[in-house]
Amino acid sequence: MKNTISFQGELGSYSHQACLDLYSDHDVKPCPTFESAIDSVNQGVSQLAMLPIENSTYGRVADIHLLLPSSKLTIVKEYFLRVRINLLALPGTSLSQIKSAISHTVLLGQCQNFLLHNKIKSVVGPDTAGSAKRVSSQQDRSVAALASELAGEIYGLKSLASDIEDMTNNTTRFLIMAKDQNFNRKKLNKEQCMTTLVFEVRNLPAALYKALGGFATNGVNMLKLESYMVGGSFTATQFYLDIEGHPETISVKRALEELKYFTSSVSILGVYEKHPYRPMG
């Protein structure tokens, strides 16, 4: 029996593409929301969840940072997917016939130069693959979708133009989540690890500065720091942090000890291997 990996979106989405790239031997389970993709793993329907966390052009993916701490899942891997945008239309359609392009608002914003040059109007759709599915069903030759090549294959559309994104390094980072905290612990090279954690600082003057000072004094590289409100309060701020290193190495262990002294809570969301997209130490 095959294992299953869940993702948010329709078949043909970039999350679906990431699943195929990493886990071609798994069944895939499309889910309507990020919450349902996470729930699928917690309920044992899926063994893994593929979740986009940030894009090099657009920035962080909304809601994900809030969902991770309460997900009850562990980050077991990261993956960087080069986002290649295609203009997908009904077979037999020419580029000159296209008057509007439908897609998720994020993707529309990532290929404005192409759309403006070809005088194509942007239309906000539900998501990338869902937009391709709509174009396929509506049979309107004046409307195209902005989506992946995979979406074109699934919904029987022709690519009129490929790699039309404004930024040629357009990349999305995904986190792969599992319920089993020891999913990959035995395979890890402690010298090539990432650790992701969330924390809340204590109500002290310069608490954040002091909390992070341990990473500098112990030579631990911080790669990402995000802050966001929790519980609808302007006073409770949670921080998401990606660092290089394994919690069991001396430098990281010391840095975490200093962090805990100035925080009210610290939770490690995952320890996993750095993806080759990142420079290896």
Identify whether the C-beta of residue 194 lies closer than 8 Å to the C-beta of residue 78.
Answer: yes
pLDDT for residue 72: 92
CATH 3.30.70.260 location in the chain: 186-273
pLDDT-wise least confident of 89-103, 146-160, 192-206: 192-206
Whether the predicted pLDDT of 281 surpasses 60: no
**CB neighbours (10 Å) of residue 188?**
16
The CATH homologous superfamily for domain 86-161 is Periplasmic binding protein-like II (3.40.190.10)
Q: 142 and 118 in contact (C-beta within 8 Å)?
A: no
Sequence ranges of the chain with CATH classification 3.40.190.10: 4-83+170-178, 86-161
Architecture of domain 186-273: 2-Layer Sandwich (3.30)
Residue among 30, 34, 28 nearest 61 (CA): 34
Q: Is 95 helix (H, G, I), strand (E, B) or coil?
A: helix
CATH code assigned to 4-83+170-178: 3.40.190.10
Q: How confident is the model at residue 190 (pLDDT cuts 50, 70, 90)?
A: confident
64 in Cβ contact with 53 (< 8 Å) = yes
Instruction: Tell me what the pLDDT averaged over the chain comes to.
Output: 91
pLDDT at 50: 98
Annotated catalytic residue: which of 7, 34, 114, 174?
Answer: 174
**What average pLDDT does range 127-154 have in this prediction?**
95
3-class DSSP assignment, residue 98:
coil
- Cα dihedral 123, 124, 130, 135, rounded to 10, equals -10
Section 17-30 average pLDDT = 97
Active-site residue among 4, 128, 172, 196?
172
* Separation between Cα atoms, residue 272 and residue 249, nearest integer Å: 14
Catalytic residue flag (residue 174)? yes
Cα–Cα distance list, 168 to 24, 56, 103, 162, 187 (Å)? 26, 10, 19, 12, 33
Q: What is the pLDDT of residue 232?
A: 62
- Helix (H) or strand (E) holding 223, with range, is strand 222-229
For this structure, is 128 an active site residue? no
Identify the residue whose tokens are 């979708």: 145
